[in-house]
Chains A and B, each alone.
Chain A
Amino acid sequence: MLRSANFVGLLYLNLMSDVQDYIPIVLQSLVVLAFVVGTLVFAPKLGPKLSSAKKDANWECGIEADGNARFPISVRYFVIAILFVLFDVEVIFFYPYAVNFQALQLEGLMAVLIFVGFFLTGFIYVLKKGALEWEK
Protein backbone atom coordinates (compact mmCIF):
# COMPACT_ATOMS: atom_id res chain seq x y z
CA MET A 1 0.00 0.00 0.00
CA LEU A 2 2.90 2.33 0.45
CA ARG A 3 4.33 4.16 -2.41
CA SER A 4 7.30 6.45 -2.18
CA ALA A 5 7.56 8.89 -4.98
CA ASN A 6 8.08 12.55 -5.51
CA PHE A 7 5.23 14.19 -3.60
CA VAL A 8 4.27 16.78 -6.18
CA GLY A 9 4.55 14.33 -9.01
CA LEU A 10 2.39 11.83 -7.20
CA LEU A 11 -0.31 14.38 -6.66
CA TYR A 12 -0.53 15.81 -10.10
CA LEU A 13 0.92 13.52 -12.75
CA ASN A 14 -1.58 10.72 -13.03
CA LEU A 15 -4.64 12.82 -12.23
CA MET A 16 -4.21 15.44 -14.91
CA SER A 17 -6.58 15.05 -17.80
CA ASP A 18 -5.20 15.59 -21.27
CA VAL A 19 -3.72 18.97 -21.91
CA GLN A 20 -5.50 19.29 -25.22
CA ASP A 21 -8.82 19.38 -23.32
CA TYR A 22 -7.90 22.85 -22.23
CA ILE A 23 -6.90 24.27 -25.60
CA PRO A 24 -10.35 25.77 -26.36
CA ILE A 25 -10.44 27.43 -22.95
CA VAL A 26 -6.95 28.84 -23.39
CA LEU A 27 -7.89 30.12 -26.87
CA GLN A 28 -10.99 31.82 -25.57
CA SER A 29 -9.10 33.39 -22.69
CA LEU A 30 -6.56 34.73 -25.17
CA VAL A 31 -9.28 36.24 -27.34
CA VAL A 32 -10.96 37.87 -24.34
CA LEU A 33 -7.68 39.22 -23.05
CA ALA A 34 -6.66 40.51 -26.48
CA PHE A 35 -10.00 42.28 -26.93
CA VAL A 36 -9.97 43.97 -23.53
CA VAL A 37 -6.32 45.03 -23.70
CA GLY A 38 -6.73 46.06 -27.33
CA THR A 39 -9.72 48.30 -26.65
CA LEU A 40 -8.04 49.88 -23.69
CA VAL A 41 -4.86 50.59 -25.62
CA PHE A 42 -6.35 51.77 -28.91
CA ALA A 43 -9.47 53.67 -27.85
CA PRO A 44 -7.59 56.71 -26.43
CA LYS A 45 -5.29 56.81 -29.46
CA LEU A 46 -8.10 56.86 -32.02
CA GLY A 47 -10.14 59.72 -30.55
CA PRO A 48 -9.25 63.37 -29.99
CA LYS A 49 -7.74 64.15 -26.60
CA LEU A 50 -8.71 67.09 -24.45
CA SER A 51 -7.67 67.70 -20.89
CA SER A 52 -8.78 70.13 -18.22
CA ALA A 53 -9.09 70.15 -14.44
CA LYS A 54 -12.78 69.27 -14.59
CA LYS A 55 -12.33 66.50 -17.12
CA ASP A 56 -9.45 64.88 -15.24
CA ALA A 57 -11.43 64.61 -12.03
CA ASN A 58 -11.97 61.07 -10.72
CA TRP A 59 -15.72 61.09 -11.21
CA GLU A 60 -16.46 63.23 -14.18
CA CYS A 61 -20.19 63.04 -14.70
CA GLY A 62 -21.44 66.57 -14.43
CA ILE A 63 -22.29 66.41 -10.72
CA GLU A 64 -19.85 67.63 -8.12
CA ALA A 65 -18.48 64.84 -5.88
CA ASP A 66 -19.78 65.40 -2.39
CA GLY A 67 -19.11 63.69 0.95
CA ASN A 68 -17.33 60.46 1.72
CA ALA A 69 -17.75 57.22 -0.19
CA ARG A 70 -17.32 55.20 3.04
CA PHE A 71 -20.68 55.63 4.65
CA PRO A 72 -22.45 52.71 6.31
CA ILE A 73 -25.01 51.17 3.99
CA SER A 74 -28.33 49.63 4.98
CA VAL A 75 -28.40 46.10 6.32
CA ARG A 76 -31.14 45.34 3.80
CA TYR A 77 -28.64 44.98 0.97
CA PHE A 78 -26.85 42.47 3.09
CA VAL A 79 -29.83 40.18 3.64
CA ILE A 80 -30.58 40.13 -0.06
CA ALA A 81 -26.93 39.28 -0.75
CA ILE A 82 -27.01 36.39 1.76
CA LEU A 83 -30.22 35.03 0.30
CA PHE A 84 -28.70 35.35 -3.15
CA VAL A 85 -25.68 33.27 -2.11
CA LEU A 86 -27.92 30.54 -0.71
CA PHE A 87 -29.97 30.25 -3.89
CA ASP A 88 -26.82 30.54 -5.97
CA VAL A 89 -25.48 27.43 -4.28
CA GLU A 90 -28.79 25.68 -4.86
CA VAL A 91 -28.59 26.34 -8.60
CA ILE A 92 -25.03 25.06 -8.77
CA PHE A 93 -26.23 21.65 -7.57
CA PHE A 94 -28.42 21.41 -10.70
CA TYR A 95 -25.43 21.28 -12.99
CA PRO A 96 -24.09 17.86 -11.97
CA TYR A 97 -27.68 16.64 -12.04
CA ALA A 98 -28.38 17.97 -15.52
CA VAL A 99 -25.29 16.21 -16.86
CA ASN A 100 -26.50 12.91 -15.40
CA PHE A 101 -30.19 13.49 -16.05
CA GLN A 102 -30.76 10.25 -17.98
CA ALA A 103 -28.45 7.97 -16.03
CA LEU A 104 -29.92 8.85 -12.64
CA GLN A 105 -33.50 7.95 -13.59
CA LEU A 106 -36.35 8.33 -11.14
CA GLU A 107 -34.31 8.18 -7.94
CA GLY A 108 -32.15 11.09 -8.99
CA LEU A 109 -35.23 13.05 -9.96
CA MET A 110 -36.76 12.39 -6.53
CA ALA A 111 -33.57 13.50 -4.81
CA VAL A 112 -33.51 16.76 -6.74
CA LEU A 113 -37.24 17.33 -6.30
CA ILE A 114 -36.96 16.92 -2.53
CA PHE A 115 -34.00 19.29 -2.49
CA VAL A 116 -35.81 21.89 -4.57
CA GLY A 117 -38.93 21.37 -2.47
CA PHE A 118 -37.00 22.25 0.68
CA PHE A 119 -35.59 25.34 -0.96
CA LEU A 120 -38.99 26.35 -2.24
CA THR A 121 -40.35 26.07 1.32
CA GLY A 122 -37.53 28.30 2.45
CA PHE A 123 -38.27 30.75 -0.34
CA ILE A 124 -41.97 30.91 0.52
CA TYR A 125 -40.98 31.49 4.13
CA VAL A 126 -38.69 34.36 3.14
CA LEU A 127 -41.39 35.90 0.95
CA LYS A 128 -44.12 35.60 3.58
CA LYS A 129 -41.79 37.04 6.18
CA GLY A 130 -41.35 40.04 3.93
CA ALA A 131 -37.58 39.87 4.03
CA LEU A 132 -37.33 40.97 0.42
CA GLU A 133 -39.56 44.01 0.90
CA TRP A 134 -37.85 47.32 1.36
CA GLU A 135 -38.98 48.49 4.75
CA LYS A 136 -37.85 51.82 6.09
Chain B
Amino acid sequence: MSSIEIIALALGALTIASALMVVLSMHPVRSVLYLILTFFLISANYVLLNAQFLAIVNIVVYAGAIMVLFLFVLMLLNLSKDNEPRASNIMKLAASLAAGALVIVLVAALKDAIYLPVVENVQGNSQGLVENLGQLLFTKYVLPFETSSVLFIAAMVGAVLLSKKEKQIID
Protein backbone atom coordinates (compact mmCIF):
# COMPACT_ATOMS: atom_id res chain seq x y z
CA MET B 1 0.00 0.00 0.00
CA SER B 2 1.24 3.42 -0.84
CA SER B 3 1.26 6.15 1.76
CA ILE B 4 -1.61 7.97 0.08
CA GLU B 5 -3.81 4.91 0.36
CA ILE B 6 -3.03 4.61 4.04
CA ILE B 7 -3.93 8.27 4.55
CA ALA B 8 -7.15 7.82 2.59
CA LEU B 9 -8.21 4.74 4.55
CA ALA B 10 -7.36 6.27 7.91
CA LEU B 11 -9.20 9.46 7.02
CA GLY B 12 -12.23 7.50 5.89
CA ALA B 13 -12.32 5.52 9.11
CA LEU B 14 -12.00 8.69 11.18
CA THR B 15 -14.76 10.41 9.20
CA ILE B 16 -17.14 7.51 9.69
CA ALA B 17 -16.32 7.25 13.37
CA SER B 18 -16.93 10.94 13.94
CA ALA B 19 -20.16 10.85 11.94
CA LEU B 20 -21.30 7.93 14.10
CA MET B 21 -20.56 9.96 17.21
CA VAL B 22 -22.90 12.70 15.92
CA VAL B 23 -25.74 10.20 16.03
CA LEU B 24 -24.69 8.36 19.16
CA SER B 25 -23.95 11.24 21.54
CA MET B 26 -26.78 11.86 23.94
CA HIS B 27 -26.20 15.57 24.29
CA PRO B 28 -27.26 17.74 21.31
CA VAL B 29 -24.47 20.28 21.71
CA ARG B 30 -21.92 17.48 21.74
CA SER B 31 -23.53 16.15 18.54
CA VAL B 32 -23.05 19.52 16.91
CA LEU B 33 -19.39 19.61 17.94
CA TYR B 34 -18.85 16.17 16.42
CA LEU B 35 -20.63 17.41 13.32
CA ILE B 36 -18.09 20.22 13.02
CA LEU B 37 -15.31 17.65 13.32
CA THR B 38 -17.01 15.58 10.63
CA PHE B 39 -17.14 18.58 8.31
CA PHE B 40 -13.43 19.19 8.78
CA LEU B 41 -12.67 15.54 8.05
CA ILE B 42 -14.85 15.63 4.94
CA SER B 43 -12.92 18.71 3.85
CA ALA B 44 -9.72 16.71 4.28
CA ASN B 45 -11.24 14.05 2.02
CA TYR B 46 -11.98 16.74 -0.57
CA VAL B 47 -8.35 17.83 -0.46
CA LEU B 48 -7.27 14.26 -1.08
CA LEU B 49 -9.60 14.20 -4.09
CA ASN B 50 -7.97 17.39 -5.32
CA ALA B 51 -11.07 19.54 -4.80
CA GLN B 52 -9.49 22.31 -2.76
CA PHE B 53 -12.12 24.93 -3.46
CA LEU B 54 -14.86 22.61 -2.26
CA ALA B 55 -12.83 21.85 0.84
CA ILE B 56 -12.57 25.54 1.77
CA VAL B 57 -16.22 26.23 0.94
CA ASN B 58 -17.21 23.29 3.08
CA ILE B 59 -15.35 24.74 6.03
CA VAL B 60 -16.51 28.32 5.55
CA VAL B 61 -20.17 27.63 4.84
CA TYR B 62 -20.90 24.42 6.70
CA ALA B 63 -18.48 24.32 9.59
CA GLY B 64 -18.72 28.09 9.97
CA ALA B 65 -22.09 29.53 9.10
CA ILE B 66 -24.46 26.59 9.13
CA MET B 67 -23.12 25.26 12.41
CA VAL B 68 -23.93 28.63 13.99
CA LEU B 69 -27.48 28.16 12.73
CA PHE B 70 -27.53 24.69 14.27
CA LEU B 71 -26.48 26.06 17.63
CA PHE B 72 -29.11 28.79 17.36
CA VAL B 73 -31.78 26.17 16.78
CA LEU B 74 -30.54 24.22 19.78
CA MET B 75 -30.86 27.34 21.89
CA LEU B 76 -34.30 28.12 20.51
CA LEU B 77 -35.44 24.78 21.84
CA ASN B 78 -35.64 24.49 25.54
CA LEU B 79 -33.20 21.74 26.34
CA SER B 80 -33.12 22.01 30.09
CA LYS B 81 -35.83 19.40 30.52
CA ASP B 82 -35.41 15.84 29.39
CA ASN B 83 -38.77 15.31 27.75
CA GLU B 84 -37.78 13.43 24.65
CA PRO B 85 -40.19 10.58 23.93
CA ARG B 86 -38.56 7.18 23.96
CA ALA B 87 -38.97 4.90 20.96
CA SER B 88 -40.59 1.56 21.68
CA ASN B 89 -38.58 -1.63 21.33
CA ILE B 90 -40.47 -2.75 18.22
CA MET B 91 -39.65 0.53 16.54
CA LYS B 92 -36.01 0.17 17.50
CA LEU B 93 -35.94 -3.35 16.10
CA ALA B 94 -37.62 -2.28 12.86
CA ALA B 95 -35.27 0.66 12.48
CA SER B 96 -32.17 -1.46 13.03
CA LEU B 97 -33.42 -4.10 10.59
CA ALA B 98 -34.11 -1.48 7.91
CA ALA B 99 -30.81 0.30 8.46
CA GLY B 100 -28.94 -3.02 8.51
CA ALA B 101 -30.52 -4.08 5.22
CA LEU B 102 -29.56 -0.74 3.70
CA VAL B 103 -25.95 -1.13 4.83
CA ILE B 104 -25.76 -4.62 3.34
CA VAL B 105 -27.11 -3.36 0.01
CA LEU B 106 -24.69 -0.43 -0.06
CA VAL B 107 -21.65 -2.53 0.82
CA ALA B 108 -22.62 -5.20 -1.69
CA ALA B 109 -23.02 -2.57 -4.38
CA LEU B 110 -19.66 -1.01 -3.55
CA LYS B 111 -17.97 -4.34 -4.25
CA ASP B 112 -18.94 -3.66 -7.84
CA ALA B 113 -17.15 -0.34 -7.91
CA ILE B 114 -14.26 -1.74 -9.91
CA TYR B 115 -16.48 -1.81 -12.99
CA LEU B 116 -16.82 1.94 -12.93
CA PRO B 117 -16.38 3.81 -16.19
CA VAL B 118 -13.25 5.90 -16.37
CA VAL B 119 -14.31 9.52 -16.36
CA GLU B 120 -12.16 11.39 -18.80
CA ASN B 121 -10.13 13.92 -16.96
CA VAL B 122 -9.79 16.77 -19.39
CA GLN B 123 -7.89 19.14 -17.24
CA GLY B 124 -5.03 16.84 -16.47
CA ASN B 125 -4.31 16.32 -12.84
CA SER B 126 -5.38 19.77 -11.71
CA GLN B 127 -9.12 19.09 -12.00
CA GLY B 128 -11.11 20.73 -9.26
CA LEU B 129 -8.77 23.66 -8.81
CA VAL B 130 -10.49 27.00 -8.44
CA GLU B 131 -9.49 28.21 -11.87
CA ASN B 132 -10.96 25.27 -13.75
CA LEU B 133 -14.04 25.34 -11.60
CA GLY B 134 -14.60 29.00 -12.44
CA GLN B 135 -14.13 28.32 -16.14
CA LEU B 136 -16.88 25.70 -16.09
CA LEU B 137 -19.17 27.56 -13.72
CA PHE B 138 -19.32 30.76 -15.75
CA THR B 139 -19.44 29.24 -19.21
CA LYS B 140 -20.87 25.75 -19.45
CA TYR B 141 -22.90 25.75 -16.24
CA VAL B 142 -23.94 29.39 -16.25
CA LEU B 143 -27.64 28.55 -16.28
CA PRO B 144 -27.60 26.41 -13.11
CA PHE B 145 -25.46 29.18 -11.59
CA GLU B 146 -28.05 31.87 -12.30
CA THR B 147 -30.90 29.57 -11.35
CA SER B 148 -29.33 29.06 -7.96
CA SER B 149 -29.84 32.76 -7.31
CA VAL B 150 -33.58 32.24 -7.88
CA LEU B 151 -33.42 29.60 -5.17
CA PHE B 152 -31.62 32.01 -2.85
CA ILE B 153 -34.19 34.76 -3.37
CA ALA B 154 -37.01 32.29 -2.71
CA ALA B 155 -35.22 31.26 0.48
CA MET B 156 -34.78 34.90 1.51
CA VAL B 157 -38.46 35.67 1.02
CA GLY B 158 -39.33 32.51 2.92
CA ALA B 159 -37.05 33.36 5.85
CA VAL B 160 -38.46 36.89 6.10
CA LEU B 161 -42.03 35.63 5.83
CA LEU B 162 -41.55 33.03 8.55
CA SER B 163 -39.98 35.42 11.02
CA LYS B 164 -41.96 38.63 10.55
CA LYS B 165 -44.72 39.32 12.99
CA GLU B 166 -47.99 40.14 11.35
CA LYS B 167 -49.29 43.53 12.31
CA GLN B 168 -52.39 43.75 10.22
CA ILE B 169 -54.75 40.83 10.15
CA ILE B 170 -58.11 41.76 8.72
CA ASP B 171 -60.79 39.25 9.48
Q: Do chains A and B touch in the complex (CB under 8 A)?
A: yes
A-B contact pairs, 30 of them (CB 8 A): A3-B114, A3-B116, A3-B118, A4-B115, A6-B5, A11-B49, A12-B48, A12-B49, A13-B5, A15-B50, A17-B50, A17-B129, A71-B75, A71-B78, A78-B69, A78-B73, A82-B69, A82-B155, A86-B152, A95-B53, A95-B134, A97-B134, A108-B138, A111-B146, A118-B146, A119-B149, A122-B152, A125-B157, A129-B160, A131-B160
Tell me the bound Cα distance from A25 to B44 in angstroms. 13
Chain A, range 57-94, C-beta contacts under 8 Å to B: 68, 70-73, 75-79, 81-86, 88-90, 92-93
User: Which B residues have a C-beta under 8 Å from some C-beta of A?
Assistant: 2, 4-5, 8-9, 47-50, 53, 57, 60-61, 64-66, 68-69, 72-73, 75-80, 110, 113-118, 121, 125-131, 133-135, 137-139, 142, 145-146, 149-150, 152-153, 155-157, 159-160, 162-165
A12 touching B8 in the complex, CB below 8 Å, given contacts A85-B61, A126-B160: yes
> Could you say which residues of chain B place their CB within 8 Å of the CB of A32?
none
> Could you say which residues of chain A place their CB within 8 Å of the CB of B135?
100, 103-104
Contact with B along A45-59 (1 / 0, CB 8 A): 000000000000000
User: Which A residues have a C-beta under 8 Å from some C-beta of B?
Assistant: 1-17, 22, 68, 70-73, 75-79, 81-86, 88-90, 92-93, 95-97, 99-100, 103-104, 107-108, 111-112, 114-115, 118-119, 121-122, 125-126, 129-131, 135
- Across chains A and B, the number of contacting residue pairs, with CB separation under 8 Å, is 172
> Could you say which residues of chain A place their CB within 8 Å of the CB of B49?
11-12, 15
Contact (Cβ within 8 A) A12 B152:
no
Contact (Cβ within 8 A) A76 B2:
no
Contact (Cβ within 8 A) A107 B139:
yes
Contact (Cβ within 8 A) A96 B76:
no
Nearest A residue (CB) for B53: A96
Which 5 residue pairs spanning A and B have beta carbons closest together? A96-B134, A100-B134, A118-B149, A79-B163, A122-B153
Contact (Cβ within 8 A) A96 B133:
yes
Tell me the bound Cα distance from A114 to B147 in angstroms. 11
Contact (Cβ within 8 A) B76 A72:
yes
> Could you say which residues of chain B place their CB within 8 Å of the CB of A15?
49-50, 121, 125, 127-128
> Could you say which residues of chain A place their CB within 8 Å of the CB of B153?
118-119, 121-122, 125
> Could you say which residues of chain A place their CB within 8 Å of the CB of B78?
70-72
A84 touching B65 in the complex, CB below 8 Å, given contacts A9-B5, A72-B76, A97-B138: yes
